[in-house]
Homo-oligomer: A and B are copies of this chain.
Amino acid sequence: MTHARKMLDTYPGSAAMDAAVLVECIEACFDCAQSCSACADACLGEEEVSHLRRCITMCLNCSEVCAATGRIVSRQTDFEPTMARAALQACAEACRLCAEECEHHAREMNMEHCRVCAEACRRCERACGDALSAVGA
């Protein structure tokens, strides 16, 4: 349960894009910021941590981009499509890279947290893509 939809519905003005697309993008960004932080931490807790360095860096970086993008798309006042596009493109790319890395470890090393994290990344990659279409990429 998040308050993202209710926050958007009580915004004093019109949203920058279709509300369902926007809310999904906001929620996916914050969720992925959390999952990627948690996956970096779970990798750090694994015995084979030395094999997971790339995954840790990727997750930490993806988490940063998602958190920044989640806040940027949360802002409707004087929404600037060029700014949103720059952030959404970076976020979709970060999520794609991180998903690939996590899927690799889920497959090869049976890392369940990587499998879950990849799900969150793919959802966010999709949501950013949909928001990009809505904003006119």
A residues at B contact (CB < 8 Å): 1-4, 6-8, 10-13, 26-27, 30-31, 33-35, 37-39, 41-42, 44-47, 49-50, 53-54, 56-58, 60-65, 67-68, 70-72, 74-80, 82-83, 86-87, 89-90, 93-94, 97, 112-113, 115-117, 119-120
Can you list 24 A-B pairs, Cβ within 8 angstroms, ordered by A?
A2-B27, A3-B119, A4-B31, A4-B35, A7-B39, A11-B38, A12-B42, A30-B33, A33-B71, A34-B70, A37-B75, A38-B74, A38-B75, A41-B77, A49-B50, A56-B77, A58-B78, A60-B60, A60-B71, A62-B83, A63-B71, A65-B90, A86-B90, A89-B90
Q: Say yes or no: A75-B41 contact (C-beta < 8 A), given A10-B113, A80-B97, A90-B90.
A: yes
Question: Which residues on the B side are within 8 Å of A112 (C-beta)?
Answer: 10
Copies in the complex: 4
Distance of A117 Cα from B27 Cα, bound (Å): 16
Task: Report the separation of the CA atoms of residues A31 and B94 in the bound assembly, to the nearest whole angstrom.
Answer: 22
